[in-house]
Amino acid sequence: MAWDYQLDIDRYYPSVRTYLTEQLNLPKHLVYLLRSNQRVLVNHQYRPMNFPIKPGETVNISFNQTDFSTSAFPMLPDWTRSLEVLWESDDLMVVNKPRGLKTHPNQPGELGTVFNLAAAYLAPKRPLMVHRLDQQTSGALIIAKVPPVVAILTKLLKTKTLQRTYLAWVRGMLTNPQGTINQPIGKDPFDQRKRQVNGQNSQPAITHYQLLKTNENASLLKITLETGRTHQIRVHFASLGHPIVNDPLYDSLATSSQPMLLHSWRIAFKTPYYNQAVVVISPLPPEFKRFS
């Protein structure tokens, strides 16, 4: 299997390598494979990596299946429910993840996750991982359709060029209308399911928030992340004494009959290779509307 891209150049680049690494955000190992196999053509001819590219020229890039590693086990399609697609292109899509569904299976033969639904939607293609949402978190989730975009999207996430915005109801009233939580997060030594501030093997974690509204005993926040630690939003606000409402791990007032109120609301990015600006909004689930 191969994936081919034809790209029109609209400005000067000092070298082919600069275009591939800085404009397209391709990782070094893919640039090496493209160069060694002469699979980057400028105006349909091979051009060495240190040669410039000029406005008006055309770049053709070709990837092979062998350029990419594959996951350890096949993804079984699940046809039992439909997948809500918020936006899609030939390379990727943004889906609306329901609260309560896992993002992906953890073992062979497992069904009932968003990725099983995506495998049915894309068949015979298979969905590819870009990022995850916790099982009890709802909202916008990016899924890649083809391998050549995965590494690019991963880099855009790390550099915050791909921006994710969350909405959450937290317990209590925050004293500041906006703020930043800068506390490292690590494993909870007493519960393998949980994380905690300054836990084992802590890593830096930074969360920004803005207060949108309050009701009698809770606050609605808009949240963005500088880092992507496991349970980052949940742990940071629990550490302040304002856990996510009905968080089954960190909210002492949570009940199993009520949903956790954390939602991946907005994703903004530029599409790999073509730099099309995309903004996707995930509709608020009914539980958010009822709570407000």
Residues that are catalytic = 134
Cα–Cα distance, 96 to 105 (Å, whole number)? 17
Per DSSP bridges, beta strands 45-46 and 138-144 are unpaired
Torsion of CA 264, 267, 273, 276, to 10 degrees: 150
Judge whether 177 and 211 are in contact, CB under 8 Å.
yes
Per DSSP bridges, beta strands 138-144 and 128-129 are antiparallel
Cα–Cα distance, 133 to 139 (Å, whole number)? 8
Cα–Cα distance, 95 to 3 (Å, whole number)? 23
Nearest residue to 289 via CA among 266, 267, 268, 259: 259
Residues 6+ apart with CB under 8 A from 137: 97, 99, 260, 262, 263, 264
Per DSSP bridges, beta strands 262-270 and 138-144 are parallel
Q: How is residue 282 written in tokens? A: 């995930």
Q: How is residue 92 written in tokens? A: 């990727």
Nearest residue to 53 via CA among 18, 80, 23, 13: 13
Q: How is residue 7 written in tokens? A: 């790209």
Judge whether 126 and 68 are in contact, CB under 8 Å.
no
